[in-house]
Structure 1
Amino acid sequence: MGGRLESWGWWVGGMLLLCLSLALESEVVLANRPLASSPHEMGSSSISISTSTSSSSSTNHNKIIEKDHKYILANIFHSLFDNGDSSYTHVWPDMEFGWRVVLGSTIGFLGAALGSIGGVGGGGIFVPMLTLIIGFDPKTSTAISKCMIMGAAGSTVYYNLRLRHPTLELPIIDYDLALLFQPMLMLGISIGVAFNVIFPDWMVTVLLIILFLGTSTKALFKGIETWKKESILKKEAAKLLTSQSNESQKLAYKPLPGAPAANAQVLSSPDDEVPIKENIYWKEFMLLLFVWVAFLAVQIIKTYATTCSIEYWVLNALQVPIALSVTLCEAINLCKGKRTIASRGKQDIRWKMHQLLFYCCCGVLAGIVGGLLGLGGGFILGPLFLEMGVPPQVASATSTFVMTFSSSMSVIQYYLLDRFPVPYAAYFVFLATVAAFTGQHIVRRLIVLLGRASLIIFILALTIFVSAISLGGVGIAHMVEKLERKEHMGFENLCYHSKSLQFKVL
């Protein structure tokens, strides 16, 4: 467990450091820095040079250098918070039946089905489809993608609420795991939505390729490891079945739930379904709902605050204690042993606070990625849950459950920012909802038939890898076009968009 934590720590730490360095370096390079001195200052300096000593000339030179650094810092904040005009324009094609809608719907259906199976949402397939085929601009595609993720996640959660844990007498959704990650994911979503307005496309592309290639590789290795363990269990089950053939006893094989205890007892059949109310832990669910409502209230009230005023930033900051209060309470209870991540089975572990805090940081990072790229946080949460020893079925179900809250919050934020056309969004939400339900039903039957839960992990790795290739290719193509046209490639203006938001709501 310590090795896994250290591996994830280096990887996530490197990603955060890369984000910070790219943000600072790009703004320094792309900012239009004014001259160190104005014409009036030049005239004054020439008089002072003719009448002053060499020491005063040196002092003036140092002042100019100091002013240079002030201009650089000023440009960084000017790019983020100035109330000037934004250079970004939306492209919203008319909604009419044609080959674009048919092809886009087909790809969207497959993406939603695969994304719901792996617990990642499918945004990595939605965004290129919406951009290249339907014809939306990249940022509108991001917003509509989030709408599709919300529809797919809601459908998947409804399907999973009838199912039980593959080997334990528990719901397939781990509510303790959700309480640990959902508040942090939603906090990251709010940050990511703002970054979506600010960050240039080229930076988003670089971060996306690095992040997705890393996660898909980790998921692939985890899938191979799980496949080998399943093969061993299948051989042992076959031997046991042969030895008991004289007694005419049948052995029901259970899909491998990750890294199970050797003496784990099978308590339920793969085909068992129970009423939804038995799979809902109302106390934990209401706590998650409280976090969602609190975030929603802050977002709505924030629209009536003066753009970039003190009240505006105070309201933004209120999201931090809301998220931290719930997550830290859950983390402390896990450390003290008052609560446990029961879906891991009998693998008892004494959670340490630094481990849980690191996982919470991963939750924030997943939210930032989700809000920034229009993807589900499951691209990070799914592989992370698997590394924590959670069964693939539970990892997928819990990741999707958490994404239902976060994606719906993103949709509301994008709607208030007027970032997508409602008719198109409604159509694709319906499409994703049907696709997710269909995908869940088919793959569940395949897992029962083949006896291999690792199928979920391989679908997860495939979806992330395809997303990296498709989104990375689209991003690189857009960068080349902008370079050829010498278009603006710097940071956008956050306060300009906030100002437009306030006008529309009022």
Structure 2
Amino acid sequence: MKHTLFLKCLFLLTILSSTSSKSGVETSNTVEGIGIRSAAVAALSSLAAAISSAGGVGGGGLFIPILTIVGGHDVKTASTYSAFMVTGGSVANVAAYTLWRSGGARRLIDCEMALLCQPWLLLGVSCGVVLNVVFPEWLIMLMFVVFVAGCTFKTCRSGAACWRLESRGFREETKNGTGESTKMPLLRATADQVEDEVRTPWVSIGMLVLIWFSFFALYLLRGNHYGHGIIEIEACGTGYWIISSMQIPLAIFFTSWILFRRKSPTNSTIASTQQENGGRTRRRPSSELVFPIMALLAGLLGGVFGIGGGMLISPILLQMGIEPQVTAATCSFMVLVSSSMSALQYLLLGMKQIYAALTYAAVCFVASLVGLTVIRKAILRHGRPSIIVFSVATVMALSIVLMTSFGAIDVWRSYTTGQNMGFKNPC
């Protein structure tokens, strides 16, 4: 019922904010500088962060409509705040998943999967942002509804199938007189897994840091669509597109390096054949290229929709049979990499209202910890990881309602004011 309460609160707060603006009453700030709208945004964002944290998705599809509809911010400011809010929630998720693997528990964050996905996810987001400028608003809204609605349906179906499998396992345990194996699926590991699963993959983490700095350096050199960067460069000029195109060979280089490293004799155990090993789905070497393609598609659509790739890549991983806990933890890690890059770019390029963005990020940090703790306790108590799958579906359904409502208002405003409703020049 959380999503029903969330929609009711958003509807009532929207009515109240619009009524106060029509009456010409200025909303006075409190002594701490936080007004009614800011408090409403913080309350709704904390609820959205708590729901999003369970599925490992960033929550940008919820934060942006909240900031624009309730907070009254423009889309540019809302996108800036959203990057910090997603980063705050992702920091909490990654920290929690890292700490909860103590006591011999297997590692939930799959750094090898993140290595294969991250370069292409970042490349896809950059290409999607360009397409977002070119495509008309009505086409973007239509694509968003069709794609996310389809993903929501498939995610719900996967959650239902996972729920049935869990129920069948409970019945078999009851019949056999046991009840231990599925009650703690989140943190249990076999003795054979402990050495590989508990060991911190410092080499993989170092490669991810190198990928982060490489793409971040390109973004800073290129600047944004308005020509704001660390060097003087013409927006959409020759240098702009040359630097942007450098992301393609960079992604190919990192992927080739990662695949070569995985096939080396010292890492042959990593590229093992696909098997169920304590719940984690292992990958065949022949299927490794599926992950970059999937990440590129998720990043491309995420850039077009303006929501990031976390909400799109999570249901795809679930459809591929990746364990829900591993999907949530790994997606949180990948979302942290991409959102932190965006947030730091905003900081270095001279964003305003930094303290407000950091305040919202802190709210999302705390709310994500609370939401993740509640979900974890529910999984440990009831032995149902399918809760994570349903959490992802809930976030996607809420995003459809909010983003579609906001998009429809924007399309109608463009139509009534006589703006161009066709394709646009990327520059």
Under a length normalisation based on structure 2, what TM-score does the superposition of the two structures give? 0.79
After superposition, residues 70-219 of structure 1 pair within 5 angstroms as 96-164=33-101, 170-219=106-155
Q: 1:353-364, aligned counterparts within 5 Å?
A: 355-364=287-296
Structure 2 counterpart of 1:426, from 353, 358, 373 = 358
Distance change (3 Å), C-alpha of 1:381 and 1:193: same
- C-alpha distance in 1, partners of 2:140/2:356? 24
Cα displacement (A) at 1:363 = 0.6
Structure 1 residues 349, 201: CA separation in 2 closer, same or farther (over 3 Å shift)? closer
Specify the alignment match of 1:501 in structure 2: none
- Compared CA separation, residues 233 and 212, structure 1 to 2 (3 A): same
Q: Which segment is superposed worse, 404-413 or 101-110?
A: 404-413
The DSSP-based 3-state class of the residue aligned with 2:177 is: helix
Q: Is 2:156 aligned against 1:220? A: yes
Distance 2:86 2:362 in 1: 11
Q: How many percent of aligned residue pairs carry the same amino acid?
A: 31
When residues 211 and 416 of structure 1 are mapped into structure 2, their CA distance, relative to the original with a 3 A threshold, is farther
Q: Cα deviation per residue 1:12-33 (whole Å; 9 max; x = unaligned)?
A: xxxxxxxxxxxxxxxxxxxxxx
Change (3 A) 1:97 1:465: same
Relative to structure 1, the CA distance from residue 334 to residue 384 in structure 2 (aligned partners, 3 Å threshold; closer, same or farther) is: farther
Once the 2 structures are TM-superposed, how far is the Cα of residue 305 of structure 1 from its aligned partner?
5.0
Matched, 1:474 2:403: no
Q: CA deviation at 1:226?
A: 0.5
- Alpha-carbon distance, 1:94 to partner: 10
- Does the alignment pair 1:253 with 2:173? no
Moved more, 136-145 or 103-112: 136-145
Distance in 2 of aligned mates of 1:478 and 1:344: 48
Contact kept in structure 2, 1:118 and 1:457, CA below 8 Å: yes
Tell me: CA distance 1:309–1:128, structure 2 relative to 1, closer, same or farther (3 Å): closer
Q: How does 1:463-502 map to 2 (within 5 A)?
A: 463-489=395-421, 495=427
Tell me: CA distance 1:490–1:284, structure 2 relative to 1, closer, same or farther (3 Å): same
> Structure 1: how far apart are the matches of 2:272 and 2:114?
10
Offset from partner CA, 1:196-221 (integer Å, 9 cap, x none): 55544333322221221111111111
Distance (Å, rounded) in 2 between the aligned partners of 1:438 and 1:192: 33
Structure 2 distance, partners of 1:419, 1:204, is 27
Q: State the shift of 1:456 in Å.
A: 0.4
Q: Which amino acid aligns with 2:218?
A: V
| 1:284 match | 204
Listed one character per residue, the Cα deviations across residues 307-351 of structure 1 (whole Å, up to 9, x for unaligned) are 134333222122222222222343466689933379963366534
| Bigger-Rg structure (1/2) | 1
Deviation at 1:142, TM superposition (A): 2.5
Q: In the aligned structure 1, how far is the partner of 2:133 from the partner of 2:84?
A: 17
Letter in 1 for 2:190: L
Deviation at 1:182, TM superposition (A): 1.0
How far residue 358 of structure 1 moved from its aligned partner, in angstroms, is 4.1
Flag the 1:145–1:197 CA change in 2: closer, same or farther, 3 A: farther
Does the aligned pair in 2 maintain the 1:190–1:410 contact within 8 Å?
A: no
The 8 Å contact of residues 271 and 285 in structure 2, kept in 1 or not, is answered as: no
In structure 1, the partner of 2:337 is 405
1:163 Cα deviation after fit: 2.5
- Residue 70 of structure 2 aligns with an amino acid whose one-letter code is I
**Is the CA contact 2:155–2:315 (under 8 Å) kept in the aligned structure 1?**
yes
Deviates more, 1:122-131 or 1:311-320: 311-320
Residue 161 of structure 1: SS of its match in structure 2?
helix
CA distance in 2, matches of 1:192, 1:415: 22
Letter in 2 for 1:102: A
CA pair 444-280 structure 1, distance change in 2 beyond 3 A: same
**Which residue does the alignment assign to 1:390?**
322
Structure 1 match to 2:284 = 350
Residue 219 of structure 2 corresponds to residue 299 of structure 1 = yes
Amino acid aligned to 1:283: V
CA RMSD of aligned residues (A): 3.1
Matched residue SS, 1:136 = coil
Q: Mapping of 1:7-46 within 5 angstroms?
A: none
Contact 1:147/1:425 (<8 A) preserved: yes
List runs of 5+ in structure 1 lacking aligned partners.
1-92, 243-249, 258-264, 269-273, 496-506
What stretches of structure 2 of length at least 5 have no aligned partner?
A: 1-26, 223-228
For 2:55, the aligned partner's letter is G
Quick one: which of 391, 399, 402 aligns to 1:459? 391
- The 2-side partners of 1:284 and 1:379 are apart by 24
